[in-house]
Amino acid sequence: MTLLCLLIGEVVTRAFITSPSPAKSDPELGWVYRPGVEIFHTKEGWGRNQMNALGLNDSPLHEIPVGQNIAILGDSFAEALQVDRQDNFSEYAEAQLSCANVVNAGRSGMALTHFPAMARRLAAEIRLDLIYVVLNSWDFDDTLQHAGKLTYDDDGQLIDIDVQFRQQHSLRRKAAVIFDNSALATHLLERLKLMLEGRTVQTQATNTQSFENPSDSELRQFADIFGFVTSKLSEIAPVKIVYIPRLEYSDSGRSTLSEDSYYYQEILRELSLKSDIQFASVGSNFQNAYALHLKPPVGFHNAGIKMGHLNELGHAAVGKILVEDIAPTCANLAFGGEG
Amino acid sequence: MIFTSLSFLLFFLSVLLLLAVFKRQAARTYILLIASYVFYGWWSPVFVLLILVTSVWAWAFGLLIDRTDDEVKKSRYLFVSVAFSLGVLAYYKYAEFLAQSFYAALGWQWTYDLGIVLPVGISFFTFQTLSYSIDLRKGKIPVCESPTKFMLFVAFFPQLVAGPIVRASDFLPQLEKKIRISSKNIVIGAQLFLGGALQKTLIADNMSTFVDPIFAEPALYSAETLWLGLAAYSIQIFCDFCGYSLMAIGIAKMLGFDLPENFRMPYLSRSITEFWRRWHISLSSWLRDYLYIALGGNRKGKARMYSHLMITMLLGGLWHGASWNFVLWGALHGIALAIHKIWDDRTRDYSELKATPLYSSIAWLSTLTFAALLWIPFRCVDFPTMQVYVSRLFGGADGIDWINPQVITLLSVVVIWHLIYQFKPAVLAKFPSDNPERFGVQFALGISIFAIILFAPLQTSPFVYFQF
């Protein structure tokens, strides 16, 4: 009887919930997808995507000799497992631009501090002409949480970030053979982990979450990390920042940036300006999309509307920003100019 | 500590273990009493004192009522006992609401916070002490001499915070018999618990992730989404409360106690009167016996009967929460009950027509629609939100479309469950079974556990009726 139940559980899990664990441990980036693995994502949206040889949600890595090879660095918003590949913003931009090879190097759980390592890996494979760092309002906290060991020189300048992946998830490592083959075990472990992490009980969904400004020391630390990471990335290729804000919605298609989103947007704009980096926010594109379609750019019917990751509409809105930014370069190339 | 949490599982296993070790009746009574106070104190230790004082007060005045032969004194003791219980309830539950309403009536702005925390389950245990005192005064039940047994009656943890509301006449006699932990009771109780857990975690909790945002901001959503939200909430509140009741009944069964049935498929009702015979049965029967009949019931003419119905339902609405939304909800149910009584009287000669499938279907559909629509004032946080919800619902409003596939799936599951209950009741009658060896029982239990583990949302919502 137990075996029968386990078997049914495995079948149901594979059919409706998740695949067996597709991840492997990586000393720099934490858990990354195994090369070539297919990810079946149903928690939000409904996406089935095959990872490439680097474990990224993109087609096999290739370099275009003429035109721009562009890397998109980001977290799960860039990785975009919630939609089919052709709908994510990297593919959207690539499809619209004849001169660009856009590489989606987004990875769930990655923070700003992980980006140099990811960029180095890409640069070892292909020539990179441009790097977009895609950030959202959660990245401030994520970056501080994943700051790792920061080393400062005598002048107070940040000179190194050690983001060695902590030796955790020992159970998962020891029982890897089970999780690699059983969707049920993978799902149960994930649930157990979330339960043990003590997810808070949420009673009512409200639109008025209070926001507290980060402290001065947190702001200073984030600025140090931002400066350090962007300078490291700039050694590989020019860097641009794209910011994905969170909206608050009103009736009749009206919306505004949430208080925290606006705050972080301005922080990032200022830091980008200081580092002489181009900054763009997707805010107005999001607002226009909502006004036009009466559909928020984030959220999915099977999870939550107006919260969570980018849906097809949101990806198109971000994609448009990229296209508008890259298209002039393509025009230059078409007329024989330099990219 | 909610029934679907790990902490409750450990707590309950500890209680069972202690009951297995200590076999004397007195020891087991004490264990259950202490466990009940621990259960309640888990939420807020301070309020254990409240339930203790409330219990001792009702118990002591019960003794006074019993000890005297003077009818006037008996009534005075009853008055003092009831006044105290109601006073405590009024202070914790209604003081701020009354003050706010008073200010609003005078056109003043209420800007204060009285800082009154509503003790969990106060409406439930207050009604239990009230019924004891009233029944004792009427001579329907004997006095409870033992303070321990009486305190356990008031605080018995399976039903302490959200019912079913237990009558002393049902519970206290069970304490006179030996508290028996048997494998048969555990098998039956576990199935009931699991059935309730399925309803709560799989259906109600999943529905709440859809319902909460919609009722929080109805102005954002399209009419279609609001209709789906209403259907989802109707199922959520039923599965949440029915699931809790079933879990409570199952836990009590495992401990050797029988609690009364609280729900009997209310959405299959063909009239609003029938609905209230099937929905929250322990409350509706309490209101009928201690309020409606006490007011005079139908003994004082038709007009008075309708007013008694209205008063009963208004207070029943207010029992659910200190808000004008609940008053409106109760009032509309009262009006509907009165209208149904009139309709029933006037169509008494058409019993054959009423028995036809067409009439039954229309009656069922209209009852279901009416009961569902009245969940809008029940669920909305205030009048303005309710007005927005209703106007957009019927106005075909444009807005965000959110047609959640999980909600559609769960609604279909609930519909199939009701169809089976209606047309193939024998299938469901097999549960709970006292024979754990049966393949069907094992299979159903296994699949239920897996379904909960696989599909229940990680963020468990508190039981809706905890707030009452």
Contacts of B403 in chain A (CB under 8 A): 301
d(CA A31, CA B460): 28
Q: Tell me if B213 and A306 make a contact (CB, 8 A cut-off).
A: yes
Residue of B nearest to A196 (CA): B6
Condensed to tens digits (0 to 9), the pLDDT of residues B131-151 reads 999 999 999 999 999 999 999
Domain ranges of chain B: 6-179, 185-263+347-467
Residue A319 backbone phi and psi in degrees, to 5: -55, -40
Predicted TM-score of the model (pTM): 0.84
The pLDDT confidence band at residue B461, using thresholds 50, 70 and 90, is low
Q: Tell me if A203 and B462 make a contact (CB, 8 A cut-off).
A: yes
Beta bridge partners of A278: A240
Out of A34-38, A97-101, B285-289, B431-435, which region has the weakest mean confidence (pLDDT)?
B431-435
Q: What is the ipTM of this complex?
A: 0.76
Residue of A nearest to B406 (CA): A302
Contact by Cβ (8 Å): B15, B32: yes
Q: Tell me if B442 and A195 make a contact (CB, 8 A cut-off).
A: no
Q: Tell me if A12 and B446 make a contact (CB, 8 A cut-off).
A: no
Q: Tell me if B454 and A9 make a contact (CB, 8 A cut-off).
A: yes
Task: Select from B58, B89, B110, B37 the least CA-distant residue to B320.
Answer: B89
The partner residue sitting opposite A302, judged by closest CB among B219, B222, B405, is B405
Is residue B425 classed exposed, middle or buried when 0-12, 13-18 and 19+ CB atoms within 10 A define those classes? exposed
Q: Tell me if B399 and A251 make a contact (CB, 8 A cut-off).
A: yes
The partner residue sitting opposite A12, judged by closest CB among B446, B454, B461, is B454
Residue of A nearest to B2 (CA): A201
Residue of B nearest to A194 (CA): B458
Q: Tell me if A4 and B459 make a contact (CB, 8 A cut-off).
A: no
Contacts of A206 in chain B (CB under 8 A): 216
> Considering B280, B308, B320, B340, which one is annotated as catalytic?
B320
Mean pLDDT, to the nearest integer, of B182-208?
A: 90
- Please say if the pLDDT value at position B266 is more than 90: yes
3-state secondary structure of A249: strand
Alpha helix positions (H), B374-438:
375-379, 383-394, 405-423, 425-429
pLDDT tens by residue, chain A, 339 residues:
677 777 887 887 777 777 777 777 787 787 788 888 888 888 889 888 999 999 999 999 998 888 899 999 999 999 999 999 999 999 999 999 988 999 999 998 888 999 999 999 999 999 999 999 999 988 998 888 878 888 898 888 888 888 765 555 566 666 777 777 787 887 777 776 666 554 433 333 334 456 788 899 999 999 999 999 999 999 999 999 999 999 999 988 899 999 999 999 999 999 999 999 999 999 999 999 999 999 999 999 988 888 899 999 999 999 999 999 998 887 666 555 443
Q: Tell me if A204 and B209 make a contact (CB, 8 A cut-off).
A: no
Contacts of B449 in chain A (CB under 8 A): 5
Mean pLDDT, to the nearest integer, of B295-319?
A: 88
Contacts of B406 in chain A (CB under 8 A): 302
Contact by Cβ (8 Å): B123, B319: yes
Q: What pLDDT was estimated at residue B300? A: 83
d(CA A21, CA A190): 10
Residue A242 backbone phi and psi in degrees, to 5: -120, 125
Mean pLDDT, to the nearest integer, of B285-310?
A: 89
User: Could you give the angle at the alpha carbon of B318 between the alpha carbons of B316 and B320, nearest 5°?
Assistant: 80
If one counts every other C-beta atom within 10 angstroms of the C-beta of residue A278, the result is 13
Which of B209, B380, B408, B453 to mutate against chain A (most A CBs within 10 Å)?
Answer: B453
Mean pLDDT, to the nearest integer, of B311-327?
A: 89
Residue of A nearest to B220 (CA): A251
Question: Which of the pair, A290 or B182, is modelled with greater confidence?
Answer: A290
Q: What pLDDT was estimated at residue B43? A: 83
Q: Tell me if A202 and B453 make a contact (CB, 8 A cut-off).
A: no
Q: What pLDDT was estimated at residue B2? A: 81
- The alpha carbon of residue B379 is apart from the nearest alpha carbon of chain A, in Å, by 11
Task: Select from B194, B54, B201 the least CA-distant residue to B124.
Answer: B54
Which of B206, B215, B454 to mutate against chain A (most A CBs within 10 Å)?
Answer: B454
Question: Which of the pair, B331 or A23, is modelled with greater confidence?
Answer: B331
From chain B residues 181-210, the ones with a CB under 8 A of any chain A CB are 209
d(CA B74, CA B136): 10
Contacts of A205 in chain B (CB under 8 A): 212-213, 216
Contacts of B446 in chain A (CB under 8 A): 1-2, 4-5
Catalytic site includes residue B340: no
Token digits for B244?
């809790």
Q: Tell me if A201 and B461 make a contact (CB, 8 A cut-off).
A: yes
Average pLDDT, rounded, for chain B = 89
Q: What pLDDT was estimated at residue A149? A: 85
Core vs surface per residue A46-73: b (16+ CB within 10 A) or e = ebebebbebbbbbeebeeeeebbbbbbb
Q: Tell me if B212 and A199 make a contact (CB, 8 A cut-off).
A: no
3-state secondary structure of A246: coil
Mean pLDDT, to the nearest integer, of B69-94?
A: 93
Q: What pLDDT was estimated at residue A338? A: 44
- Please say if the pLDDT value at position B385 is more than 50: yes
- Does residue B461 belong to the interface with chain A, where contact is any CB pair within 8 Å? yes
The partner residue sitting opposite B453, judged by closest CB among A188, A203, A294, is A188
d(CA A332, CA A132): 20
d(CA B274, CA B438): 35
